[in-house]
Amino acid sequence: MQACMDGFEIVSPYIDGKNTGQTDAIDRVLLDKTDLIVTTTGNVNVCDKHMLDAVKKGAIICNIGHFDNEIDTQYMRDNWTWEEVKPQVHKIYRDGAENQEDYLILLSEGRLINLGNATGHPSRIMDGSFANQVLAQMYLYERKFADLSDDSKTSGITVDVLPKHLDEEVAALMVAGFGGVLTELTPVQAGYINVKVEGPYKNDSYKY
């Protein structure tokens, strides 16, 4: 539904969306004009051998959802010829090395492309995560767990959601780092939505 609302056309590689496990279930018209397949589901055999057989020559196949079994890479290894173009990029010939035009490009051998085909997550993303971790450690240190009695320590070992003001502090710092300026709530506005002027602005159960 979200994809539809964002203006994307929702299609299935299988006729009427039914995967019977047989080659005649494949929508060959669709796959013959497909240049890129990205699996994102976290499930198994999402891009199966029949899809790999039918997809357009020269198509790029990759995964950003789960382990390499989202794509049937074992079928590709057992039946086709692999050529390493460069690390984490393979040209796979479906008709043997003799047919230089019938190939697929497989990235990261079917593993996560954000790790295999990049140098890692952008620093602008990671600094937010690390800042959250530092603030979390400071928050836990302030709880003085080490000073508790043994009985209190046992009951104090829990899994909790960190207070929202820590997230909001990191968010404000990142906005400032980008040169942004946040508008502070007036007391009237804060009272209207029942929060403090300085926050937090969401309750602890809120999911971003």
Q: What is the rounded distance in angstroms from the CA atom of residue 155 to the CA atom of residue 81?
A: 58
Q: Which residues, in sequence order, are bridge partners of residue 160?
A: none
Q: What is the rounded distance in angstroms from the CA atom of residue 142 to the CA atom of residue 136?
A: 10
Provide, rounded to the nearest whole percent, the portion of the chain with pLDDT above 70: 98
Domain locations in the chain?
2-116, 123-192
pLDDT digit string (tens) for 56-86? Answer: 999 999 999 988 899 999 999 999 999 999 9
Tokens of 17: 């969306």
Tokens of 170: 């990191």
SS percent in the chain: helix, strand, coil, step 5: 40, 15, 45
Tally of CA atoms within 13 A in the half-sphere of 62 that contains its CB: 19
Average pLDDT over residues 121-131: 85
**Residue 26: helix, strand or coil by DSSP?**
strand
Nearest partner of 112 among 48, 55, 69, 78, judged by Cα = 69
CA distances from 204 to 12, 19, 67, 109, 133 (A): 39, 42, 32, 40, 17
Kindly report the number of other CB atoms within 10 A of residue 10's CB atom: 8
Q: Tell whether the model's pLDDT for residue 118 goes beyond 90.
A: no
Into which CATH architecture does domain 2-116 fall?
A: 3-Layer(aba) Sandwich (3.40)
**pLDDT of the residue at 98:** 65
**pLDDT of the residue at 169:** 94
Residues sharing a CB contact under 8 Å with residue 102, sequence separation 6 or more, in sequence order: 57, 93, 94, 95
Q: Which residues, in sequence order, are bridge partners of residue 47?
A: 71
Q: Tell whether the model's pLDDT for residue 121 goes beyond 80.
A: no
Instruction: Produce one character per residue of 176-196: b if its CB has 16 or more CB atoms within 10 Å, e if not.
Output: eeeeeeeeebeeeebeeeeee
Comparing 164 with 207, which gets the higher pLDDT? Answer: 164
Distance of CA 173 to the CA centre of its chain: 24
